Structure 1
Amino acid sequence: MYLKFKHKKITGILTVLPKNEVSFDDEIENYTFSTSQSIKLKTVMGYNKRRVVKEGTTVSDLCVFGLTYLFEKELLKRQDIDALILVTQSPDYFMPPTSHIIHGKLNLKQDMICMDINQGCSGYIVGLNQAFFLLEQEDINKVVLLNADILSTKVSKKDRNNNPIIGDAAAITIIEKDHADHTIFGAIKVDGKDADALIIPAGGFKMPSNKKTSKLTKDGAGNLRALDHLNMKGDVVFNFVQREIPLMIEHLLIKAGLKKEAIDYYMFHQPNKFILTKLADKMGIPHKKMPHNIVELFGNASGVSIPTAITYNLGDTVLKNTFLVAMAGFGTGLNWGSLIIHLGNLDFCKIIDYN
């Protein structure tokens, strides 16, 4: 499905990262593999450091911390928020919605919209599209998009496939109406037949957690995990990304009437270094235009890797300059989406640490 929006713009992006840092080298002994095998994978996959929350920290904690920072720095006013969207797969509770928890903690006004969206790797794209839809309403002028996940708490420490890359983070993006005539081009696609390619089998109503679901078992590759843990079929995800994402971007560029060279940056979800460099090579995109440094520095925090790539790699340069950016998210669902948008003259674009 292709989408088109006018008179909408992003005016600020803040990434909130847990201060707690874990290194791959410190966890090598957790895995049933030789040290030489692990070091080789570290280089290929981009395993290095990742930021993870301390026990007891929730998505609402990260989001409230970031929003409070913006309020105190006078970069955002509470009364100006007309809609609050939270995209997460790690909510504080099954009910109530975590966006309502955040609303209550910050004592926001009653005359507004709050909603949770359950999306993962493409969640930032889905959330931006929802913000653009809401801004079509006459009485909605400013939307706050929260994208946050703490999936490190749902990964087995003895699972070398997933544990070395999964990080935690939150991002706050402000979206507003715009008088400029720039067009935003978007695409969203889904294939639920492979929904189990990225899954936490137990813990929901289909399979409640119990003693059996917490028992560690060894897979064919020697990883130890339980049904309560995140499980990814790496080959399915890799093939899906290499097959579908180049086509999606190619078709979206045609819709926008653009050549791939016209895009200044390709800010894509970063599952790992290997997938992203292979994707860039297949698409004929210079690596400097498609940054792939977020996983090795902070870990893969699902869809939050896109705004983190922007805040880390562009930072202050996007405060006074405007770039044509192609964003893409892909993974859990399976779901994939993309946007081509002018990004510039932001009020803020930075990273802060959560203690």
Structure 2
Amino acid sequence: MNLKFHKKKITGILTVLPENEVNFDDEIDNYDFSRGQSMKLKLIMGYGKRRVVKEGTTASDLCIFGLNYLFDNNFLKKDEIDAIILVTQSPDHFVPATSHIIQGKLDLKQDMVCLDINQACSGYPIGLNQAFMLLDQEEINKVVVLNADTMSYKVSHKDRGSRPLTGDAASITIVENDSSDSVIYGSVYVDGKGADALIIPAGGFRIPSTAKTAKLETDESGNSRALDHLVMKGDDVFNFVQKEVPPMVDNLLVKADKHKDDIDYYMFHQPNKFMLKKLADKMGIPYDKMPNNVVENFGNASGVSIPTAITHNIGDKLMEGTLLLFLAGFGAGLSWASLLMKMGNLDFCNTIEFKN
């Protein structure tokens, strides 16, 4: 589905990373794999350092910390916020919505919209799409899009396919109406037939967590995990991305009457370095236009990897000028979504550390 928005803009992006850092080299012995094979995978996939929360820290903690930073530094005022959209697949509780918890703990006004969206890797553009729609309402002038996940809790320490990649993070994006006649192009796709390619089988109402679902089982590849853990069918996800993302990009470029070379940066979800390089190769996009360095420095925090890539790689440029960006997320669902938009002259575009 193609989307189009007029007179909307992003005025600031903040990434919040846990201060707790884990190094892949320190976890090699957890996996049923030789050290030599592990080091080869490190080079290919981009394993390195990742940021993970300490026990007891949740998505709302990261978001509240980041919002307080913005309040304290006069980048945002509480009474300006007309809506909060939280995109997460690791909520604080099943009930109530985590966005309500954030609103209450920050003592924000009652006359506002609070909305949780259950999306993962494509969650950043989907959350922004929702924000642009809300801004069409006369009484909504500023929307705060929160994207946060703490999926490290749900990855087995003996799963070499997922654990070395998984990080935790949050992002805060401020979205407002634009007085200039700006145009933003978007697209959203879903294929629920592939839902089991990325799934946590137990813990919901279909399969409640029990002692049995917590028991580790070893698969044919030597990964040990329980039904309570994230399961990723790596080959299925890779093939899905290579098949569906390039035509999505081509379609949106046509809709916007743009050529690939017109785009300053392709800020894509960061599953791993190998997948992004293959994607860039297939689409004929130079590596320097599609950064792939988030996983090796911070880990893959699902949809938050897109704003992390932005603040880490081009934050200064977006505060000093304007760039034409292509944003794309793809993964769990299966879901893939994109945005093509001009972004720049931001009030802030940086990364901070969550300390607890």
Question: TM-score surpassing 0.5?
Answer: yes
Residue equivalent to 1:110: 110
Residue equivalent to 2:146: 146
Show structure 1 runs of 4+ deviating over 3 A. Answer: none
1:8 CA drift (Å): 0.1
1:180 CA drift (Å): 1.2
- Pairing of 1:30-41 with structure 2 (within 5 A): 30-41=30-41
Residue equivalent to 1:264: 264
> Is 1:183 the equivalent of 2:178?
no
Structure 1 SS opposite 2:328 = strand
Residue equivalent to 1:44: 44
Q: What is the rounded CA distance, in whole Å, between the counterparts of 2:161 and 2:183 in structure 1?
A: 40
Residue equivalent to 1:210: 210
1:12 CA drift (Å): 0.1
1:176 CA drift (Å): 0.1
Residue equivalent to 1:56: 56
The letter of the residue matching 1:275 is: M
Deviation readout 1:157-202 (Å, 9 max, x if unpaired): 0000000000000000000000111210000000000000000000
Aligned length, in residue pairs: 355
1:47 CA drift (Å): 0.3
1:322 CA drift (Å): 0.2
The letter of the residue matching 1:11 is: T
Residue equivalent to 1:281: 281
Deviation readout 1:25-79 (Å, 9 max, x if unpaired): 0000000000000000000000000000000000110000000000000000000
Deviation readout 1:227-270 (Å, 9 max, x if unpaired): 00000000000000000000000011000000000000000000
1:18 CA drift (Å): 0.1
Q: What is the rounded CA distance, in whole Å, between the counterparts of 1:317 and 1:189 in structure 2?
A: 30
Deviation readout 1:328-350 (Å, 9 max, x if unpaired): 00000000000001010000000
Q: What is the rounded CA distance, in whole Å, between the counterparts of 2:263 and 2:149 in structure 1?
A: 29
1:24 CA drift (Å): 0.4
- Pairing of 1:330-345 with structure 2 (within 5 A): 330-345=330-345
User: What is the identity percentage for the equivalent residue pairs of Structure 1 and Structure 2?
Assistant: 68
> Is 1:237 the equivalent of 2:247?
no
Residue equivalent to 1:11: 11
The letter of the residue matching 1:347 is: D
> Is 1:224 the equivalent of 2:219?
no
Structure 1 SS opposite 2:27 = helix
1:316 CA drift (Å): 1.8
The letter of the residue matching 1:127 is: G
CA RMSD, aligned part only?
A: 0.4
1:317 CA drift (Å): 1.6
Structure 2 SS opposite 1:79 = helix
- Pairing of 1:89-128 with structure 2 (within 5 A): 89-128=89-128
The letter of the residue matching 2:289 is: K
> Is 1:134 the equivalent of 2:154?
no
Q: What is the rounded CA distance, in whole Å, between the counterparts of 2:76 and 2:291 in structure 1?
A: 29
Q: What is the rounded CA distance, in whole Å, between the counterparts of 2:180 and 2:312 in structure 1?
A: 26
Residue equivalent to 2:69: 69
Q: What is the rounded CA distance, in whole Å, between the counterparts of 1:251 and 1:74 in structure 2?
A: 40
Deviation readout 1:280-328 (Å, 9 max, x if unpaired): 0100000000000000000000000000000000112211210000000
Structure 1 SS opposite 2:310 = helix
TM-score normalised by structure 1 residue count: 1.00
The letter of the residue matching 1:193 is: K
Q: What is the rounded CA distance, in whole Å, between the counterparts of 2:319 and 2:40 in structure 1?
A: 39
TM-score normalised by structure 2 residue count: 0.99
1:23 CA drift (Å): 0.5
1:121 CA drift (Å): 0.1
Q: Name structure 2 gaps, 5 residues minimum.
A: none
Q: What is the rounded CA distance, in whole Å, between the counterparts of 1:278 and 1:354 in structure 2?
A: 33
Residue equivalent to 1:295: 295
Q: What is the rounded CA distance, in whole Å, between the counterparts of 1:263 and 1:181 in structure 2?
A: 19
Structure 2 SS opposite 1:314 = helix
Q: What is the rounded CA distance, in whole Å, between the counterparts of 2:137 and 2:220 in structure 1?
A: 52
Q: What is the rounded CA distance, in whole Å, between the counterparts of 2:203 and 2:119 in structure 1?
A: 17
Residue equivalent to 2:86: 86
Structure 2 SS opposite 1:312 = helix
Q: What is the rounded CA distance, in whole Å, between the counterparts of 1:120 and 1:59 in structure 2?
A: 13
Q: What is the rounded CA distance, in whole Å, between the counterparts of 1:58 and 1:251 in structure 2?
A: 37
Structure 1 SS opposite 2:303 = helix
Q: What is the rounded CA distance, in whole Å, between the counterparts of 1:224 and 1:48 in structure 2?
A: 21
